[in-house]
Amino acid sequence: MSSDIIVIGSINMDIVVKTKEIPKVGETVIGREITENPGGKGANQAAALAKLGTKVSFLGMVGNDTNGKKLLSSMQESGVNTSLIKSIEGSSGTAFISVDDEGNNSIIVVPGANDKVDKNYLEENINAIKETKFVLLQQEIPMETVKEAVLLSKKLGKTIILNPAPAHCLDEEVLKNIDILIPNEHELARLSNREIKDIDSIIEASKYLISVGVSKIITTLGEKGAIYVDEAVVQHFKPFTAKVIDTTAAGDSFIGGFLHSYLDTGNIFKSIEFGQKAATITIQKYGAQVSLPTIEEINNYGFYKKSEVIVD
């Protein structure tokens, strides 16, 4: 079955602990609640796309453990084509997430089966890549696999979108083949080797990466919105108003919403705002995939930009 987007990435079980505050180094705090939620940046982004109605297939691996079965089931329920996902001996990926009362989080990822996603696996599934339009990648699988996937996909003429999370340095051979790069501030700093301290430094770092060969860059800024940069345009997108409950999967929701709209309209600016709308709903719910909105939720929600004055 061909898909509009192939996601090549990670699949994790998220162990989420809710606590008043995230502990500092050497500090112990008391947690209030612990839950298990299907996650992983790759799986979250695929689920975000599928829940909005996009045809999406996934390339990745799970372990042959109980979590592996749960993870596949969750993706299938969201509408992701999981037929290409490989189940291997050992443990599935696991993420340990602390969420505080302000909705901030800290995350430790144990890759498990995600570490086995390699060049051979990509070559086994080359026909699926040939049949798609877009290839979406993150960095929770081995970096040599990310590089191979970028170069292979570009050779096949695909549009390549990279969410460089978690942050790793990338060589110019990879960067010049990225059509749309979607980092946050920390990832932009790592990729550009520049200090990010304000909007101007974000624009400067983005322009440097454009000069290296990246085509378009969307830097997500959380409560400060997003900044788009290409060779000719710089635009700041202010955020929508929302009461933050949990920021887990907010970036994944943004990417899903953005690409769903971009596939449909080809309009980068409308698509960034649509991604912001998806993320706005996500941050008002706990969890990762369970917090991702449907198209009906987005269409029926009343959105207001932070700069707008709401009059009763």
Sign of CA dihedral 129, 132, 133, 138: negative
Specify the amino acid at residue 304.
Y
Q: Which of 115, 252, 264, 312 is catalytic?
A: 252
Whole-number Å distance between alpha carbons of 250 and 282: 6
Whole-number Å distance between alpha carbons of 297 and 312: 23
* Residue written as token pair 């999370």: 165
CA-nearest of 186, 214, 222 to 202 is: 186
212 CB neighbour count, 10 Å cutoff: 16
In the sheet that holds 105-110, the strands lie side by side as 31-39, 12-19, 93-99, 105-110
With contact defined as beta carbons under 8 Å apart, do 199 and 223 qualify?
A: no
**Active site annotation includes 252:** yes
Positions marked catalytic: 252
